[in-house]
C-alpha cells in the first residue's frame, strides 16, 4: 500500500511543479532533473516509457560511491540508550584491509579517549566492507554478580534476571539510532561465543547488492481493465497510471482487505486511511470498507502503532474518519454512514476526555504518519513528553474529524452543535499557537515540560492538510504554499532534518 499511490502522486508532482519549460514535450525542468512526455532524465540516468504498459531505466543508486567511512556507534542493553551519556558516542574511521576492519576493543560504559575527525579526503568507504566490533561487557556482568543489577547512564536499573542481550546502534546502515527496535533486529546483537566476556558481532557496511537497486524494466502483467482508464497522449503519465493500478491489485489480501506491502503485513490505520481518502474509495469502495472495519474493536477505531504502546500517546487514529467519510461520499451507503458515525462518536468521546489540552484546545499526541520517534523528536523526549506535545498534522486530522462528525450527524438527523464547536476550538488553537509569522508557515509541534515552545520546523503533511481543510484561509493559505520549504527533489516530510539522524523513512 505504501507504493499504491505512486502513479497518482507522480501525476500531482508533475502537474503541480513550477519551473522553466523549454519545449512542448518538457513537463518540468530543474537543475537536478527533467521530466518530458515520455522520460525522466537525471544526469547520466534516464527512465523511458515506451508505452502505457512498459518502462525501462538506466538508473543506478550512487549510495555505494558516497558512503562515509566515519562511523559513530554505541552499545545498548536490552535495546535502551543506556551505555554513554546523551550526545556521547564511540567514533571510528573505517579503513579496511582486504575488505575487513576489526574495530578496537571497547569497554561498556567507558568513553573514547580520543575522537577522530571525519577525513576531508578519501572520505568514502569501500563497498562490501566487513566490520567486526568487540565489547568488554565485564562492568555489566560484575555489577550483576555484586549488586544484582546494572545502573545505566540514563539512571535506569537492569536486573540480572531481566538481561536479554547487548546490541549495537549507530549512524550508518546497517546500524541506526532506533534503539526501540534493536530487539527485533537480531543482526545487531553481540554474542560471547567462547565465554571469555568479550562480545563480538561482524556486520557488512556499504553493501552492494544488485537486487536492492531499481529494476531495469517494468512491463504491465496484471489485468486492470475493470478500473477507469487514463489516456493523456504522454506515455510517462499513462504508464504511471497503469503501474499504480497494478500495485492496487497486488495489495489486496485474500480476505478482501488492502495490505501495506511486502515488508508490512496487515492493515495499518493511518496508511489505509490516507490511501482511501486519496483514491481507493472511488476505485474499490467495498474493499476500502472491509479494510476500515478491520481497524476497529470494542466499538471504536484502533490506534495500531505508535510510541509507548500507541493510544493515547499516538493519537492519529482519527485519520479513519477521513476515509470513512470519503467512502460514504462515493457510495451514498446510509448503513455504512450509521456504522461509521457510531464508531467515530465513541472514539471522539474517548479523545475529548483523554487528550484535549485545556489551555490551547488542541489535541495531544504524536505526529501523524511520522512515527519513528528519533527521526522527528529530540532524543530527550520520552513517551510522556510526546503525549504532552501538540502536533500540527495530528491536530489538522482532529479538526477535520469533528467537521466530518458534524456532517455525518446532519445526514443522520443527529445534533451537530457539539462537534462543530470542538472543530472551531481546534482551528483557533492551531492558528493562535502554531502559526510562525516570521516564517509564513505553521510550526511542527509545541513541546516542552514546564513551558511549551514551538518547533519551528515545517511539517509537509500538516501544512498541506491545513490548506486543504480550510484551517489556513485566504492570504495565510497562500503564505503556507509559498513558504513551505522545497529541497532538491521535492518537499521533505519536515525541514530541517535533525543532525546525525537518518532522514525519515517515508
Q: Is 263 left (phi over 0), alpha (psi -120 to 50) or beta?
A: alpha
Number of neighbours of residue 218 by Cβ within 10 angstroms: 18
Residue 108's pLDDT band, with cuts at 50, 70 and 90, is very high
Q: Does residue 193 have a pLDDT over 60?
A: yes
Q: Which pLDDT belongs to residue 86? A: 78
CB of 247 closer than 8 Å to CB of 6: yes
Average pLDDT, the chain: 90
Q: What is the pLDDT averaged over residues 418-443?
A: 97
Q: Which pLDDT belongs to residue 430? A: 98
Task: Quote the CA–CA distance of 480 and 474 in Å, as a whole number.
Answer: 10
CA distances from 131 to 2, 81, 95, 190, 346 (A): 33, 22, 10, 13, 53
Q: Which residue has the cell 510522556?
A: 384
Q: What is the pLDDT averaged over residues 413-441?
A: 96
Q: Which pLDDT belongs to residue 500? A: 67
Residue 425's pLDDT band, with cuts at 50, 70 and 90, is very high
Q: Which pLDDT belongs to residue 6? A: 40
DSSP 111: P
Residue 9's pLDDT band, with cuts at 50, 70 and 90, is very low
H or E stretch covering 3:
none
Going by DSSP bridges, is the β-strand pair 198-205/45-51 parallel, antiparallel, or unpaired? unpaired
Q: Does residue 308 have a pLDDT over 90?
A: no
Task: Quote the CA–CA distance of 77 and 314 in Å, as a whole number.
Answer: 26
Please tell me the pTM assigned to this model.
0.75
Q: What is the pLDDT averaged over residues 134-139?
A: 97
C-alpha cell at 37: 512526455
**CA quadruple 139, 140, 144, 147: dihedral sign:** positive
Residue 90's pLDDT band, with cuts at 50, 70 and 90, is very high
Q: Is 266 left (phi over 0), alpha (psi -120 to 50) or beta?
A: left
CA distances from 391 to 258, 323, 400, 410 (A): 28, 21, 14, 29
Q: Does residue 68 have a pLDDT over 80?
A: yes
C-alpha cell at 361: 484546545
Q: Name the residue among 67, 65, 199 with its Cα closest to residue 136.
A: 199
pLDDT-wise least confident of 85-94, 357-366, 424-433: 85-94
Task: Quote the CA–CA distance of 168 and 189 in Å, as a whole number.
Answer: 7
Q: Does residue 200 have a pLDDT over 90?
A: yes
Q: In the chain, which residues fall in CATH 1.50.10.10?
A: 267-495
CA distances from 129 to 114, 202, 455 (A): 24, 10, 39
The angle formed by the CA atoms of residues 91, 503 and 72, to the nearest 5 degrees, is 5
What is the CA 327 to chain-centroid distance, rounded? 25
Q: What is the pLDDT averaged over residues 131-154?
A: 94
Residue 444's pLDDT band, with cuts at 50, 70 and 90, is very high
Share of the chain above pLDDT 70, in %: 92
- Which pLDDT tens digit goes with each residue over 211-259? 666 678 999 999 999 999 999 999 999 999 999 999 999 999 888 998 8
Task: Given CATH 1.50.10.10, say whether it is the number of domain 267-495.
Answer: yes
Q: Which pLDDT belongs to residue 211? A: 61
Q: Does residue 476 have a pLDDT over 70?
A: yes
**DSSP letter string over 212-233?**
GSPPSEEE--S--TTSPP---S
Can you tell me whether residue 397 is helix, strand or coil? helix
For 220-228, which contacts have Cβ atoms below 8 Å and span 24 or more sequence positions? 220/52, 220/53, 220/54, 220/246, 221/246, 222/246, 222/249, 222/250, 223/249, 224/248, 224/249, 227/283, 228/283
Residue 16's pLDDT band, with cuts at 50, 70 and 90, is very low
Task: Quote the CA–CA distance of 239 and 232 in Å, as a whole number.
Answer: 10
Share of the chain above pLDDT 90, in %: 72
Residue 388's pLDDT band, with cuts at 50, 70 and 90, is very high
Question: What is the radius of gyration, based on Cα positions, of the chain?
Answer: 25
DSSP 276: I
Q: Does residue 12 have a pLDDT over 50?
A: no
Q: Does residue 338 have a pLDDT over 90?
A: yes
pLDDT-wise least confident of 256-260, 330-334, 429-433: 256-260
Task: Quote the CA–CA distance of 266 and 274 in Å, as a whole number.
Answer: 16
Task: Quote the CA–CA distance of 212 and 201 in Å, as a whole number.
Answer: 23
Task: Quote the CA–CA distance of 374 and 381 in Å, as a whole number.
Answer: 9
Q: Does residue 8 have a pLDDT over 50?
A: no
CB of 72 closer than 8 Å to CB of 84: no
Q: Which pLDDT belongs to residue 506? A: 53
Q: Is 433 left (phi over 0), alpha (psi -120 to 50) or beta?
A: alpha
- Which pLDDT tens digit goes with each residue over 36-65? 999 999 999 999 999 999 999 998 877 788
Q: Which residues contact 358 (CB under 8 A, 6 or more apart)?
A: none
Amino acid at each position: 500500500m505504501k507504493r499504491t499511490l505512486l502513479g497518482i502522486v507522480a501525476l500531482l508532482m508533475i502537474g503541480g511543479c513550477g519551473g522553466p519549460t523549454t519545449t512542448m514535450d518538457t513537463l518540468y525542468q530543474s537543475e537536478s532533473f527533467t521530466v518530458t512526455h515520455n522520460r525522466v532524465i537525471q544526469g547520466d540516468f534516464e527512465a523511458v516509457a515506451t508505452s502505457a504498459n512498459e518502462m525501462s531505466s538506466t538508473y543506478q543508486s550512487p549510495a555505494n560511491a558516497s558512503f562515509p567511512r566515519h562511523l559513530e556507534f554505541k552499545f545498548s542493553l536490552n535495546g535502551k540508550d543506556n551505555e554513554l551519556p546523551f550526545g556521547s558516542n564511540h567514533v571510528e574511521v573505517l579503513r579496511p584491509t582486504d575488505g575487513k576492519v576489526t574495530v578496537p576493543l571497547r569497554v561498556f560504559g567507558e568513553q573514547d579517549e580520543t575522537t577522530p575527525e571525519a577525513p576531508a579526503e578519501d572520505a568514502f568507504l569501500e563497498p562490501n566492507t566487513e566490520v567486526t566490533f568487540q565489547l568488554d561487557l565485564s562492568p555489566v556482568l560484575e555489577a550483576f554478580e555484586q549488586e544484582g543489577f546494572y545502573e545505566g547512564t540514563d539512571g535506569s536499573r537492569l536486573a540480572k534476571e531481566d538481561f536479554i542481550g547487548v546490541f549495537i546502534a549507530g549512524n550508518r546502515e546497517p546500524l541506526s539510532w532506533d534503539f526501540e527496535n534493536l530487539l527485533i533486529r537480531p543482526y545487531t546483537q553481540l554474542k560471547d561465543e567462547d565465554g571469555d566476556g568479550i562480545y563480538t558481532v561482524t556486520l557488512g557496511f556499504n553493501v552492494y547488492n544488485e537486487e536492492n537497486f531499481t529494476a531495469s524494466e517494468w512491463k504491465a502483467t496484471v489485468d486492470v481493465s475493470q478500473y477507469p482508464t487514463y489516456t493523456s497522449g504522454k506515455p510517462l503519465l499513462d504508464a504511471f497510471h497503469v503501474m499504480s493500478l497494478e500495485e492496487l491489485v497486488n495489495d489486496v489480501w485474500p480476505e478482501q482487505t488492502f495490505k501495506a506491502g511486502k515488508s508490512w503485513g496487515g492493515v495499518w490505520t493511518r496508511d489505509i486511511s490516507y490511501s482511501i481518502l486519496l483514491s481507493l474509495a472511488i476505485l474499490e469502495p467495498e474493499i476500502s470498507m472491509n479494510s476500515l472495519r478491520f481497524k476497529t474493536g470494542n466499538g471504536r477505531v484502533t490506534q495500531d502503532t505508535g510510541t509507548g504502546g500507541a493510544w493515547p500517546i499516538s493519537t492519529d487514529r482519527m485519520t479513519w474518519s477521513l476515509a470513512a467519510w470519503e467512502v460514504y461520499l462515493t457510495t451514498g451507503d446510509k448503513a455504512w454512514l450509521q456504522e461509521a458515525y457510531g464508531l467515530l462518536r465513541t472514539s471522539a468521546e474517548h479523545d475529548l476526555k483523554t487528550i484535549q489540552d485545556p489551555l490551547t484546545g488542541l489535541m495531544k499526541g504524536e505526529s501523524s504518519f511520522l512515527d519513528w520517534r528519533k527521526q522527528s523528536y529530540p532524543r530527550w523526549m520520552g513517551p510522556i513528553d510526546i503525549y504532552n506535545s501538540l502536533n500540527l498534522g495530528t491536530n489538522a486530522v482532529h479538526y477535520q474529524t469533528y467537521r466530518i462528525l458534524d456532517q455525518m450527524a446532519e445526514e443522520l438527523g443527529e445534533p451537530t452543535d457539539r462537534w462543530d464547536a470542538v472543530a472551531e476550538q481546534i482551528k483557533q488553537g492551531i492558528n493562535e499557537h502554531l502559526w510562525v509569522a516570521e516564517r509564513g508557515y505553521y510550526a511542527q509541534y509545541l513541546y516542552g515540560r514546564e513551558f511549551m515552545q514551538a518547533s519551528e520546523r515545517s511539517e509537509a503533511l500538516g501544512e498541506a492538510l491545513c490548506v486543504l481543510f480550510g484551517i489556513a484561509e485566504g492570504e495565510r493559505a497562500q503564505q503556507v504554499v509559498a513558504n513551505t520549504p522545497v529541497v532538491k527533489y521535492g518537499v521533505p516530510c519536515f525541514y530541517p532534518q535533525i543532525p546525525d539522524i537518518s532522514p525519515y523513512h517515508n
